[in-house]
Amino acid sequence: MTQLPGAAPRLVVGLGNPGAEYAQTRHNAGFWFCERLAKLLGIALVPESRFHGLVGRAGELRLLLPTTYMNRSGLAVGTLARFFRIEPEAILVVHDELDLAPGDVRLKFGGSHAGHNGLKDIQAALGTDRFWRLRLGIGHPGQRDAVIHYVLKPPRAEEREAIEEAIERALAAWPDIAAGRWERAMGRINAKPKPPKSGPTDKERSS
């Protein structure tokens, strides 16, 4: 069983592609989360060319949206992490996840990149897979050769709504994440949301 580190995060990275043409696509779900987190924390994300991305700061915490395109995300993450001497265990990477349905979200530590080019490049840059990931479900097109087209298209309206609800649930656990209470955060984020309570049945109404 993987030993879970207890350090509070010092870097949160949202994965996506820069540019207006990609802003609403499924592959940019990590950007959506970080933009919402920046708003929650009241910090601005500003371009910093030396770190190849948009960067915001709140105390010891930094937010990063790489502007290198997805498959070069490791350049931004590695450069910033080395400059500020941030250990991989104190990094949270937020990304879209094909293997989860829209509305599903999972927090995990370490593991395979599972073919995700952003994660793959970050692992190569850091030399390890021992960093945290927040996986935002976007669903799968059903065919492997349709994946690239699928992730570079906007989700349907109901899918986007479900993804936004998942982001809300993850943000609700932010105080635990910020304090390094990772197991508690995992318990809150990874739990399946309760289905809405149904109304009384006809038999119950007539009794």
Q: Catalytic residues, which ones?
A: 27
The CA distance from 132 to 167, in Å, is 16
Beta strands 53-58 and 105-109: pairing type?
Answer: unpaired
Cβ atoms < 10 Å from Cβ of 83: 10
* Planar angle of CA 136, 142, 115, nearest 5 degrees: 55
The CA distance from 8 to 33, in Å, is 18
Q: What is the largest CA-CA distance in the chain?
A: 70
